[in-house]
């Protein structure tokens, strides 16, 4: 799914300032704990979080995540947006709760990816 579609589905606002229309994502992960997000094994993914500081961008960079969506109506911190622009990671914000955002994306066909620690 292209990020332009994600923007529409989540009624989101893009906070970064580089082209993103053609970026594709294949899976999504929702977490406020970056240690849990690191267990998300899919690249070209999307991270939904309420964490509003540069740590979520650093985590996304390590994971090869294309987009971070800040949920619950939070306004992304300026340092977060600056780092995201530098690293070419799209940042969006939405007023939706994380649960709602994940559900909307799932309903639109975005998978949750594989759970690398299943059964532990």
Within a domain: 119: no
Within a domain: 49: yes
35 three-state secondary structure: helix
**pLDDT under 50: residue ranges of the chain:** 120
pLDDT on residue 39: 67
Q: How many domains would you assign to the chain? A: 1
Within a domain: 113: no
pLDDT on residue 40: 63
Q: Residue 9: what are its φ and ψ, rounded to 5°?
A: -60, -40
Q: Which residues of 64-77 are buried (b: 16+ CB within 10 A; e: fewer)?
A: ebbbbbbbbeeebb
Within a domain: 112: no
Bridge partners for 90 per DSSP: 67
Q: Residues near 106 by Cβ (< 8 Å), separated by ≥ 6?
A: 28, 112
Within a domain: 73: yes
Bridging pattern class, strands 90-93 and 13-14: antiparallel
pLDDT on residue 97: 97
pLDDT on residue 115: 57
Within a domain: 38: yes
Q: Which domain holds residue 94?
A: 3-107
CATH number of the domain that residue 67 is part of = 3.40.1390.20
pLDDT on residue 118: 52
Within a domain: 78: yes
């Amino acid at each position: 799914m292209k990020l332009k579609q994600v923007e529409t589905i989540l009624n989101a606002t893009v906070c970064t300032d580089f082209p993103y229309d053609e970026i594709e994502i294949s899976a999504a992960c929702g977490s406020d704990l970056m240690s849990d997000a690191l267990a998300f094994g899919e690249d070209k993914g999307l991270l939904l979080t309420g964490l509003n500081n540069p740590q979520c961008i650093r985590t996304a960079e390590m994971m090869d995540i294309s987009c971070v969506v800040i949920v619950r109506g939070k306004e992304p911190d300026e340092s977060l947006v600056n780092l995201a622009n530098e690293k070419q990671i799209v940042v969006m914000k939405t007023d939706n709760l994380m649960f709602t955002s994940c559900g909307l994306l799932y309903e639109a066909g975005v998978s949750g990816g594989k759970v690398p620690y299943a059964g532990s």
